Amino acid sequence: MMKINKINLFILPIVIILSMMVMINITYAQTWKFAVISDTHDADKDNTATGVTAYLSPIIKFIIEEKPDMVLETGDLITGTLTKPTSPVYTKYEDQYAAFQKLVEPLNKANIPLFVIRGNHDYGKKNGDLDIQQAYQAAFAHNMPQNGPEDEKGLSYSFVHKKIKFIMVDQYINASYDNITLPLDWLEKELENKQNAEHVFVFGHSPAYSPADEKRRHFNLYDQPDLRDQFWGMLVKNNVTAYICGHKHIYFRGNVNGVEQICAGNLGDAMGYNSDKVDNNLADVFPEKSVAVTDNRPGYIIFTVDTNKNTITANEYCLDANSNKYLYDTYQFNF
């Protein structure tokens, strides 16, 4: 009969416990998160004291609780050039960006990096504003990856994190009020060179497909169908997982030819949503029903990547009137 000594009886449970801990750590490592915000400017253009929405502070707190690997913003960081002369921070773009940086500083303290691109508020009216462009460059662009086109260093850029490639696309090099611009040659090379990534997310400010039947042109990609179709064709050809944007101050999503468009603009000045006016190219649209402007609440998205299950889940959380969060929408990418 085999003899079992007391030492073995003591060591065996420890080995089992250590093995279980290793398995738990492996499972944990296979699940990670990133967060998305957009249009963090103050809706009160006449009186804003900071240029930044008051909702940003509680949202940053909720995001930190999720422990994401990073946060990405798709533009319109501040009220910027849309600030009215009655505001104490009118034309004081450095002060507005400083106010934004102060509100997101808890991310830095939590070792959560923030990646940003410009929106039209960060570019200027009509044909742009040199003062705000220089203020943005000084505050943010030099801290972003510098692998974009030669004239867009720190504005357009890309990086790979845990088998996902993130491509941040600036839309405002030599843009005008009626027309945005896109670095398509650079983007095409970035999409073709996946750098061993399993999924690709592309970020820009303006939606490619509209949630509304608008009559005015206002730095909208969807008002330039030829450019939009060329851009979207690249995303489809290269099996992009999703295009994430803002600009329109609502949360909505829909699919075109296998690529999901998600608009996360509902931190900005709230707008109504008429489900009958959504671009008919979009399929599987959410919200399915119209949303009154009074019911449009500020929000943010938490993406959870589960490499074990090979899924990515996007949860849109909104804040109620008391700044308590609630789950508004869940969408799962299956591969």
Closest by CA position to 127, among listed 173, 77, 78, 91: 173
Instruction: For residue 329, give Cα distances in angstroms to 40, 252, 278, 297, 303.
Output: 20, 9, 18, 12, 12
Nearest Cα to Cα of residue 170 among 154, 155, 158: 155
**257-286: pLDDT as tens digits:** 999 999 999 998 888 898 888 999 999 999
Tokens describing residue 162: 């845990």
Domain count, the chain: 1
Per the prediction, the chain carries an average pLDDT of 91
Q: Which pair of structure tokens corresponds to residue 197?
A: 């990534």
The mean per-residue pLDDT over the stretch 23-49 comes to 83
Identify whether 44 is part of a domain.
Answer: yes
Assess if residue 23 is contained within a domain: no
Q: pTM for this structure? A: 0.90
DSSP for 72-83 reads EE-S--S-GGG-
In a domain, 9, yes or no: no
Q: What is the pLDDT of residues 123-171, one digit of tens each?
A: 998 888 999 999 999 999 999 999 999 999 999 999 999 999 999 999 9
Q: Is the pLDDT of residue 311 over 70?
A: yes
User: Is 271 part of any domain?
Assistant: yes
Alpha-carbon distance 318 to 49, whole Å?
Answer: 24
- Write the CATH number for 201: 3.60.21.10
CA–CA dist 132, 134 (Å, integer): 5
Q: Is residue 330 part of a domain?
A: yes
Instruction: Give the structural domain span for 116.
Output: 32-334
Residue 261 lies in a domain: yes
Q: What's residue 214's pLDDT?
A: 66
Q: Which of 3-7, 209-213, 306-310 has the lowest mean pLDDT?
A: 3-7
Instruction: List pLDDT tens digits, range 198-245.
Output: 999 999 999 999 987 666 678 999 999 999 999 999 999 999 999 999
CA distance 261 to 175: 23
Mean pLDDT of 61-85: 97
Q: What is the pLDDT of residue 131?
A: 96
